[in-house]
Structure 1
Amino acid sequence: MTLRHCLCFCLILLTVGATATAAEWTPEPVQGTMHPRHEAAFVAVGGKAYLLGGRRLQPVDILDPATGVWTQGATPPVEVHHFQAVVWENKIWLVGAMTGRYPQERALDHIPVYDPATDSWSRGPSLPEHRRRGGAGAVIHEGKLYVVCGIINGHWDGHVAWLDELDLSTGIWRELPDAPRARDHFQAAIVGDKLYAAGGRRSWAARKETFNHVEARVDVYDFKAGIWVTLPSPAGDLPVPRAGTMSIAVGRHLIVAGGESLAQSTAHADNHALDTVTGTWVAWPPFARGRHGSGVIRLGKGLCVASGSGNRGGSPELDSVEMLDLTDLFPIRP
């Protein structure tokens, strides 16, 4: 399935109870320049895909799935990495970000915002001074931005379990109950009315334990009840604990993709799907090339991943794109 063919299909509605089949991720040929990067974001907006941020100052890379061609957008005003990107009013917000060099990167005091329509950057809301951190998860739900967990001092120390809410209509921040455990280097996702925090670790370069403390437990925040729960162990635990993961909701399933850990020097190709109704995991088709520190997006009837790091740590930065056809994993419903 090519990127051109992918855009020809409408987004599908996914049903439940599916298990992985012989479907596989396939490398996709593209044209033009993509800047290899990691600790970045890959986001879909308005029918196009955007690679943003990462180590070093790098321009936005824009993929048009209809043509399979990369073009280049504006460079952000500051180096920005270790964030999760969310889309609000067709603009891309880079939330919970760091800047600077390993291992004591600085948490940004604001949210950089990229506007695809004008190819321009602006300064978004400031974060409360006493709640700033990087490597956090971020989601938007019913007009509010949620920032969960993260680490205060780059990779050095200061991992937190905080949950903060920004009302996007008033600009007012509110502190919510802490998650059951701290984690950083992960991505949050929403399935239904619940926020899922899965994967990640507690980075601790101050003790020379940057990669050691990966988190298997899955914490869930119920927006309606305003409480956290942890999925029962071992059935609800992430089957292969790892950080630098990429998360996306697919129907009632939470997908946790890729990652890095002490278990292997190469980045994980592992992909797992959590059935949020049964609370159990199933292995999904692995990436053709293991990677961490990017994003997985929906394009047409499939999922797409681009860039990231191919080994534990920062290199090699990849310049490849892969697609997974979801119709082999889930039946289509009208």
Structure 2
Amino acid sequence: MFNSHLVVNTARTPFRYLWLAVWALLSFAVSADTSQKPLNSPAPVTAQAQWQTQNTQGTPAERHENGFVAVAGRLYLLGGRGERPLDIFDPATGQWQQGAKPPFELHHMQAVAYDDKLYVLGALTGDFPEEKSIANILIYNPATDTWQTGPEIPAQRQRGGSGVVVHNGLIYLIGGNNRGHMSGFVAWLDVFNPATGQWTALADAPNARDHFHAVVIDDQIYAAAGRMSSHDTGETMSLTVSAVDVYDIKTQRWHTLDTPLPTPRAGTAAVVINGQLVVIGGESLRQVSAHNEVEAYNPATKQWQKWPALPTGRHGTQATLLNGVVYIAAGSANRGGGPELNDLLLLPLAADTTP
């Protein structure tokens, strides 16, 4: 079933964490980075809904650069720097419990749900700054609480820090970095067919980026936020990407929105609410604390709007939507490697209400 061929079409030590924190706070203190200034001012939010802290039974492990995704009615918090457990939250009971641990360290990912299973691809493993890209798709089956090593990602297209989306039975892998945090950022777009095991390389995006999440709206893939990580040139965080690239799955063409992301940043989460692209949190050289901004783009009006801010800014985590509620958990409260969080926030939304 898994034929991982490519078809072309047009240390987990305290010292490592200390280094990440020191680097984030000090190494760019003297950098003059004009790219971090907001490019345009989104309309102010008019919503009454606000983020809330979910009261839970038990707590998950603190972590950042993790995945967080809804699968079959539950929320799965996985990965992060260091070997972290799989923590599972049941909204019906408000309880956390642990599942089977991933087979190795996973971080810098956008996990997705497919066929009632959890899929991880486009992720990194290992230590900063030249982390390795994972070579195979990893699949977690909630029904059996087991991990499976899935198809190989074509060697020449392996990377991490990528955006990943599922659409009409296909899995799309967008952007990323094939050298961890070194200057290996790419604009690649690939699609994987789980039914046939076939990978297909599609047209490159207009802009390379890593440290971002992607979404699908009306047969179009949106790649927003992120950066071009280039630690080897001293530009680990400074090359943020404000342009929003959109791939039309039907026409197989890219275009770039006329209205860029208002607050350029990377390490963001992204979800779709009522047909809008919602970009959450992130990190940049603009500030030491992680961003708490939540900005939404409406394709119908072609305008950005400011949504309710996170009570605690964060980067390096994922947001997910379940039963009309946006959930986000964990992440780092400052740029770089900490402090790591383990709280669970939610934004309740009526299914037919736009914040």
Q: Structure 2-normalised TM-score?
A: 0.85
Quick one: distance in 2 between partners of 1:196 and 1:162?
14
SS class of match (1:158) = coil
1:18 Cα deviation after fit? 11
Residue 247 of structure 1 corresponds to: 270
The one-letter amino acid paired with 1:279 is K
Percent sequence identity over matched residues? 46
Residue 319 of structure 2 corresponds to: 296
Residue 6 of structure 1 corresponds to: none
Quick one: distance in 2 between partners of 1:192 and 1:20?
25
Indicate which of 287, 292, 311 corresponds to 2:310: 287
Please tell me whether residue 127 in structure 1 is matched to residue 153 in structure 2: yes
1:278 Cα deviation after fit? 2.0
Quick one: distance in 2 between partners of 1:189 and 1:300?
18
The one-letter amino acid paired with 1:80 is L
Q: Is the 8 A contact 1:87 1:93 kept in 2?
A: yes
Q: Is the 8 A contact 2:121 2:134 kept in 1?
A: no
Please tell me whether residue 85 in structure 1 is matched to residue 111 in structure 2: yes
Deviations along 1:269-292, whole A, 9 cap, x unmatched?
A: 000110012221100000010011
Q: Provide the aligned C-alpha RMSD in A.
A: 1.7
Query: What residue ranges of structure 2 are gaps of 5+ in the alignment?
Result: 1-42
1:302 Cα deviation after fit? 1.8
Indicate which of 167, 170, 190 corresponds to 2:193: 167
Instruction: Give the direction of change, closer, same or farther, for the CA distance of 1:320–1:120 in structure 2 (3 Å limit).
Output: same
Indicate which of 227, 245, 251 corresponds to 1:201: 227
Residue 143 of structure 1 corresponds to: 169
1:169 Cα deviation after fit? 1.4
Quick one: distance in 2 between partners of 1:18 and 1:157?
36
Quick one: distance in 2 between partners of 1:302 and 1:294?
17
Quick one: distance in 2 between partners of 1:27 and 1:250?
20
State how many pairs are aligned.
313
Runs of at least 4 residues off by over 3 Å: 17-20
Quick one: distance in 1 between partners of 2:246 and 2:109?
20
Residue 49 of structure 2 corresponds to: 23
Quick one: distance in 2 between partners of 1:191 and 1:155?
29
Please tell me whether residue 39 in structure 1 is matched to residue 94 in structure 2: no
The one-letter amino acid paired with 1:200 is G
Residue 220 of structure 1 corresponds to: 246
Quick one: distance in 2 between partners of 1:281 and 1:217?
13
Quick one: distance in 1 between partners of 2:301 and 2:334?
33
Residue 212 of structure 2 corresponds to: 186
Residue 130 of structure 2 corresponds to: 104
Quick one: distance in 1 between partners of 2:165 and 2:47?
30
The one-letter amino acid paired with 1:42 is F
Residue 269 of structure 1 corresponds to: 292
Indicate which of 235, 260, 268 corresponds to 1:237: 260
SS class of match (1:206) = helix
1:63 Cα deviation after fit? 0.6
Residue 15 of structure 2 corresponds to: none
1:315-330 map, 5 Å:
315-327=338-350, 330=353
1:331 Cα deviation after fit? 6.1
Quick one: distance in 2 between partners of 1:329 and 1:305?
21
Quick one: distance in 1 between partners of 2:202 and 2:45?
35
Structure with the bigger percentage of strand: 1
Residue 3 of structure 1 corresponds to: none
Q: Is the 8 A contact 1:23 1:329 kept in 2?
A: no
Quick one: distance in 2 between partners of 1:29 and 1:204?
39
1:255 Cα deviation after fit? 0.5
SS class of match (2:150) = strand
1:300 Cα deviation after fit? 2.6
Q: Is the 8 A contact 2:266 2:284 kept in 1?
A: yes
The one-letter amino acid paired with 1:287 is L
SS class of match (1:190) = strand
The one-letter amino acid paired with 1:183 is R
Q: Is the 8 A contact 2:44 2:305 kept in 1?
A: no
